[in-house]
Structure 1
Amino acid sequence: MLNKWSVTLLAAMLVLAGCKSEQKPVEEIRPVRTMVVGGALPAAAEVYSGEVKAQHEVPLGFRIPGKIISRAVSVGDTVKKGQVLAQLDAGDVALNATAARAALSSAQAQLAQAKLDYQRSQDLHAQNFVSQAEVDKRQTALISAQKLTEQAKAQVDLANNQASYTQLTADGDGVITQTLAEPGAVVAAGQSVLMLAKAGQYEAVIDVPENRVQAWQPGQKVAVQLWADANRELVGTVSEVAPAADSKTRTFRVKVALPEKNAAALGMTIQVSQVFASKEIPNEISVPMSAVFGKEQMMRVWLVDDKNTVHSQAITVLGHQGQQVRIQGIPAKSIVVTAGVHLLREGQKIKVLPSTQGAQQ
């Protein structure tokens, strides 16, 4: 009888043990901090005034000195590469070319005579009529005549080049923005005569005070408004921040590339701000550096879904601004983990700690 109850008790214990082993382990819920990115923007921001300039503006001048006899363009004219813009008096240049050609003819005649003298001295030396010293003398004269001829040829080439330098031509397509010399003026070699804004991308140029320049970084998206059309807002990209302040104004020159070739005309007044009044910048968001993990070219962030589960998302890092990282690759108003990112795994449940940061751009 005792054995029967013992067997029954043992069977019950085995059944209970089997049920217990089939229970799933409790999933760990990791506490993290999060923030909502790409939310509302502040209502006001600092605005800087400036003007529209060509990204590449170059001074044009003659390569030789002379007197300007004509100028074919004025401010605002559109020019093509190779187009003649101004002309120098070519009288002196023509005389120099004539003199160079005459010097070449003389040098060539002397070279021909030197060759004959050298050949004659060799023949006479073979008949013992002249010494070896005389042959060497004629050979030296021949070499000298050859070098003088080469020099004369170079002078002719130089004179021909200078003849072409009497015409000032455009070295690229663009617009004349300034005239610095008039017909009748005598200019030096290299003196600026015209300013050419080369065709291509335009940029907005502003000056930022030294206590604000740290907020401006190359690659950053900013809002650009034209004074002539205040209702139109352009998305510009900071292309250059001066490494040193202007010695007089103590401000830093900041250049902002405009998105469209014909977005504005040269010289237009613009206003630049880091806050967009009418829209947010698509696909570009700032997050704390602590939210980003991974290796170069493989950076990621953790996104939180509506079930408090995390999923890693690949991103593109555009740049850094203080303790913030500007990224692309996640939609606006996403919930991003900002603390504890290195302790998470794909699909893990999380618990959001208090003091979650508010929406940021």
Structure 2
Amino acid sequence: MQLSLRILSKSLLPLAALLLLTLPLLAGCQDQGPESSAADSPRWVKTAPLTASSAPTLSLTGVLRARYETPMAFRVSGQIATRHVDAGQRVKQGEVLFTLDPSDLEESLAAARAELAAAEAALDVAEADLSRDRQLLNKGYLSRQAFERAELGVRETATRREAASARVTQARNALDHASLRAEDDGVLIDVSGEPGQVVGVGQAVARLAQEGPREVEVNFPARSRPPQTGELLVGEKHITLIRREVAGAADPASRTWRARYRLEAPLEGRSLGDVVQTRFILAEAASQTRFQVPVAALDERGEGPRLWQIVEGEAQPLPVTLEQVTRDHAWVSGDGLEAGEAVISLGTHLLTAGMAVRPLDEKEAP
């Protein structure tokens, strides 16, 4: 009996070993089927629609200015004797603003008048001599050459008298110019002259903002050229701005472009120098529509930024131009973009061209 059991156990050992070897193979075949089918199935992706964005705007502060701001300066040099105005004061045309010490100017006028009197006396003497020479010439006691010399002397003294008379006029005008008067009605936005100060010809001592049209002065960043039109925001009221002039070059210190805009409607309740709010549509981007997408939809692998869209069940890249980026959204532009078009909004760094994908909306719909 024991011998028969031993023989049976020896015959079953190879069969048991064969079964142990085939079981893992069968289990591996059963597990490989689902993995292979999962790899071949399309990958589910999240999508988001393109949202058209309005044209980009630029909000800047400006300063309210007068159309004509005239520097006020003396036409003659001298020492300021009196000052009659202050900054911010409204003045009328012809009103005296400053006066110079007239002492030197009065002396110059007196000297010019004395020179004129001497020239007139010399002319009287020359004319009397010419009259006597004419009588001598008629009697034959004087030569024609001497008489012509006397005539030339009269002309010379007459010219000197005219020059002296002109210098008297200049000296009188200089004395009148010792009083600096307002050239027009307006407001003095700056006054720098002080009594006792010595000023030269043309040195500005005040700045007069004349009555009339008002403008807004705005400084634009160097990267943005001032547009042709804009808006002045005064509460709920919007006033159209039309560009009148732009500086020929950017300011080297602030790297800004200075531009002046005229107001197309009157502005009340504001004073010169007030800071106002303006808004402009950037001309370089107004002609192209921008689209808003989640920032995760951007894929910057390869050459430049791009989006991914689903074309016939496959992921395909779409190059775009990046306009602006914030923490949650990005604004892009480019050819082939349309509002409402779906793009892949998550996991774009894992996509490859031609990868089989399906929008997650289709999975959630059932």
Q: Same fold (TM over 0.5)?
A: yes
Distance 2:250 2:56 in 1: 26
Question: 2:139 aligned with 1:133, yes or no?
Answer: no
Match of 2:315 in 1: none
Match of 2:266 in 1: 260
Match of 1:63 in 2: 75
Which residue, 220, 225, 230 being the options, matches 2:233?
225
**Residue deviations 1:52-95 (CA, integer Å, cap 9, x gap):** 11121111011001111111110110111111111111111111
Match of 1:270 in 2: 276
Q: Which has the higher helix share?
A: 2
Q: Contact 1:50 / 1:271 at 8 angstroms: preserved in 2?
A: yes
Q: Secondary structure at the match of 2:79?
A: strand
Q: Secondary structure at the match of 2:190?
A: strand
Question: 2:246 aligned with 1:235, yes or no?
Answer: no
Distance 1:98 1:138 in 2: 31
Kindly, what percent of the aligned residue pairs are identical?
A: 31
> Structure 2 matches for 1:82-161, cutoff 5 A?
82-161=94-173
Match of 2:256 in 1: 251
Distance 1:85 1:134 in 2: 59
Q: Secondary structure at the match of 2:57?
A: coil
**Residue deviations 1:267-317 (CA, integer Å, cap 9, x gap):** 111221125xxxxxxxxxx999xxxxxxxxxxxxxxxxxxxxxxxxxxxxx
Alpha-carbon offset, residue 182 of structure 1 = 0.3
TM-score (norm 2): 0.60
Q: Contact 1:200 / 1:261 at 8 angstroms: preserved in 2?
A: no
Alpha-carbon offset, residue 49 of structure 1 = 1.7
Alpha-carbon offset, residue 44 of structure 1 = 6.3
Q: Contact 1:107 / 1:152 at 8 angstroms: preserved in 2?
A: yes
Distance 1:207 1:170 in 2: 30
Q: Which runs of 5+ in 1 are unaligned?
A: 1-39, 276-285, 289-354
Alpha-carbon offset, residue 250 of structure 1 = 2.7
Flag the structure with larger Rg.
2
> Structure 2 matches for 1:1-361, cutoff 5 A?
42=54, 45-213=57-225, 216-217=227-228, 220=229, 222-226=230-234, 230-258=235-263, 259-262=265-268, 264-274=270-280
Match of 1:315 in 2: none
Distance 1:168 1:54 in 2: 21
Amino acid at match of 2:277: Q
**Residue deviations 1:183-213 (CA, integer Å, cap 9, x gap):** 1111111111111111111111111123321
> Structure 1's 263 and 252: CA in aligned 2 closer, same or farther, altered over 3 A?
farther
**Residue deviations 1:238-264 (CA, integer Å, cap 9, x gap):** 222233222333321121212215352
Alpha-carbon offset, residue 99 of structure 1 = 1.5
Distance 2:76 2:259 in 1: 36
Q: Contact 1:68 / 1:183 at 8 angstroms: preserved in 2?
A: yes
Match of 1:17 in 2: none
Q: Which runs of 5+ in 2 are unaligned?
A: 1-51, 289-336, 341-366
Alpha-carbon offset, residue 104 of structure 1 = 1.1
Distance 1:81 1:244 in 2: 35
What's the RMSD between the two structures over aligned residues?
A: 2.8
**Residue deviations 1:122-161 (CA, integer Å, cap 9, x gap):** 2112212222232122112111111011111101111111
Distance 1:244 1:44 in 2: 24
Q: Contact 1:201 / 1:261 at 8 angstroms: preserved in 2?
A: no
Amino acid at match of 1:211: R
Distance 1:242 1:58 in 2: 18
Amino acid at match of 2:233: Q
Q: Secondary structure at the match of 1:147?
A: helix
Q: Secondary structure at the match of 2:136?
A: helix
Distance 1:263 1:249 in 2: 31
Distance 1:116 1:131 in 2: 18
Amino acid at match of 1:224: L
